[in-house]
Structures are given as structure tokens and as C-alpha cells.
Amino acid sequence: MAPMGIRLSPLGMAVFCLLGLGVLYHLYSGFLAGRFAFFMLSEPAAGGPETPHGSAPGGAVDLRELLAVSVLAAVRGGEEVKRVREGNVLNAKAKGKTREGAEEQLTTGDLLSNRRMFYLLKGAFPAVQINSEERVDTADQETVSWDRSIPEDIKQKIQPKEVPAESVTVWIDPLDATQEYTEDLRQYVTTMVCVAVNGKPVIGVIHKPFSSYTAWAMVDGGSNVKARSSYNEKTPRIIVSRSHAGKVEQVARQTFGNKTVIIPAGGAGYKVLALLDVPEKNQEEADVYIHVTYIKKWDICAGNAVLRALGGHMTTLTGEEISYTGSDGNEGGLIASINMNHKALIEKLPDLEKTSHK
């Protein structure tokens, strides 16, 4: 109620309200303008920056492109491995011990190959998770570009196929068989790249730096390598790690017979190639690959993918599929074969699983 004797004019009230609105507008106009600008800048602008190489709209990646750059990465890493070995500048040192107590070696070849492979893949596919055997030193970052070219043999055999980037994990082994590398046993050395989608290995690349041979395959796609056609299930040739030969030999001969041939070899990549039709004079041939202890996933993922693409199998010693997500180790040992009754092989080797966790 207005004080006695004072009457409020309707016109005066209107002017008072307009003045109040003016003050409020002055106070808040800057805030609202700022919020509007933030909103506009947060939205993708038409004609803005292009999607990063290796990524399609919606966060997808093309597996054919990923295969092409994986092959290139394995070859580029292999060039570093070969250069260091031929220059005899290994600078080998122990980086730790295996679960069995053996010294694990680390060389300049491992580190330079890792740097080249990791940054080539990361530059081409920045949204994809990459797991490597060696630690990546961000202070030693290298710019390695990919010209997005796809080799003709891949173009002819593989069709484009997009998958969500978040479903992809890349495993790289920049130098498989480092111990043999230090001993100059060059035939065992490989560089490898594997692509897993939702934990299943779908792309495998195994490159032999000292002979320039590269095997690659994509599940439900194609490959540049074939399985061998001649096997003898009754007396198979079993390829195993050099350090495990004695552990496997006794059980294998009891299982398959005294004529069973045990082939000690270095490198998981080399052992998988032994199961295939590989045009390499220094490549031994085997029917079954067995590993009876803990093994890292970057050692076996590429070989697993190649075998799967060709209809073969790589499982734990109890027949379980190996998932390439989560931890970087496989606890259950492994058995690998192709064009053989894999289940029957597993049933013949029940005792080996007991040693796989040691």
C-alpha cells in the first residue's frame, strides 16, 4: 500500500519497470553472449578440420587400411632390426628375468624397431589402442607418416571393412626372438603386428627381416600365405622353444610314439611359420606348435590371427580360446595346428597343462 497522500501513476510504474529491465539486460547480456559463443564453438563446424587419418566418421577404422599399415610397420621395424644387427651395435642388456629365471635381453634393435612401428601405427590410427612389448618413451617420439597407399595384393584380396575404433586392440612385437638375435641366429627373428577386434585376432603380420619375407592374413578376408597340405598325425613333428625341448620331449614321445620328431626353435613367429607353406630355405617344417609355460600375447597374437584366417587353431593346452584384451600374458600355455584334428591333439596332451603355470 502506498503512503497516505501519495498516489502512484500507471505511467510512472511502467517507466520504473522498463528501467529495471534495462539494468538486468546490461548485467546479463555479456554472460548470455558468452554462453552462446561457447555453444557455437562446441558444435562441429561445416567445412571444419578433416577426420584424422585412419578414422572414419563415427569413430570407425577400416581393417583393410589397418592391414596395409601393419605390413608397413612390420617391414619398417624389421629394417631397424637388420641395420642394428649388421652394424653389430646391439648394446644388449638384461631387462629382467622370465618366470623360469632366464635373463630377458633388450637391445638397440628392440628399441628402434619399437619406436618406428609404434609411431607409424599411432600416427595412422590415433584412436586405436596399441600394446607393445617395449615401453614407449614419449620424450623420444618420432614422426613416421603413412601415405595411405594400399599394396596391390591387399587391394585384390581384401575388401574394405569398418569396425568401431574402440573395439580394436593392436599388439606389436618389435623383435621376436631377442635371445637368438643376440646369438646371431637370424633365421628365428621376426617383427609382428596383430589386430584384435573385441579380443579376437583378425589380422596377423609376421615379417622376417633378414630374408625380407612377410606373411599376412585377415580372418574372413584373405592372405598371401597357405597351409601345407601334408601332415602325419600319428607321428607329428612338434616345434617347441629351445629352452623347453626337454620338458616336452618325454611327454610327446609317450603320447605320439618314439618316432615323434621334436624341433627346438626360437621365436613364436618362426614357430607359426613352420606350420605353413613358406618359401624360405631356412624355415623348418612342423605339424604342431606347443608352448608349455606362460607367454606374452604380443608373441602369439599375430600367429593366432594367421592360423585362424587359414582355418587353423591356436588355443591354450586345455583348448580354451585366447582373448587379446585385458592382461598382456597368457597363463595356459598353447597348442597350435592347422589341417589337423585340434581337439584330438588336446586330448592326447593332458599332462602338459600342469606345467604351463610354472
Statement to judge: residues 74 and 218 lie in one domain: yes
> Which CATH number does the domain housing residue 279 bear?
3.40.190.80
176 is in an annotated binding site: yes
> Residue 97 has what pLDDT?
59
Which of these three, 186, 206, 223, is where a domain ends? 223
> Are 156 and 260 in the same domain?
no
User: Does 89 share its domain with 193?
Assistant: yes
- pLDDT of 358 reads 52
Give the pLDDT of residue 181: 97
277 is known as an active-site residue: no
**Is 276 a known ligand-binding residue?**
no
Q: Domain total for the chain?
A: 2
In CATH, what number is assigned to the domain containing residue 130? 3.30.540.10
On whether both 200 and 75 belong to a single domain, the answer is: yes
Q: Is 80 annotated as a binding residue?
A: no
One of 107, 108, 169, 178 is an active-site residue; which one? Answer: 178
- 178 has catalytic annotation: yes
Catalytic residue among 107, 108, 110, 315: 110
Question: What are the mean pLDDT values of the chain's consecutive 10-residue runs (358 residues total)?
Answer: 51 57 49 37 35 56 98 97 96 73 83 95 94 79 82 96 97 97 97 98 98 97 90 83 84 81 96 95 92 95 98 96 94 93 85 54
Residue 246 within any structural domain of the chain: yes
| Residue 6 covered by a domain | no
Q: Are 237 and 177 contained in the same domain?
A: no
pLDDT digits (tens, 9 = 90+) for 290-318: 999 999 999 999 999 999 999 999 999 99
Q: Which range of residues forms the domain containing residue 93? A: 60-223
Indicate if 122 and 236 belong to the same structural domain. no
Residue-level pLDDT at 48: 36
Q: Is residue 11 part of a domain?
A: no
Virtual torsion, Cα 242, 237, 309, 176, nearest 10 deg: 10
Domain-embedded: residue 15:
no
The answer on whether 175 is annotated among ligand-binding residues is: yes
From 168, 188, 223, give the residue that closes a domain: 223
Whether 83 and 126 share a structural domain: yes
- Same domain for 82 and 207? yes
Q: Given this model, what pLDDT does residue 58 score?
A: 46
Q: Of the residues 223, 242, 271, which one is the last residue of a structural domain? A: 223
133 is in an annotated binding site: yes
155 and 172 belong to one structural domain:
yes
* Same domain flag for 273 and 190: no
Could you tell me if residue 95 is inside a domain? Answer: yes
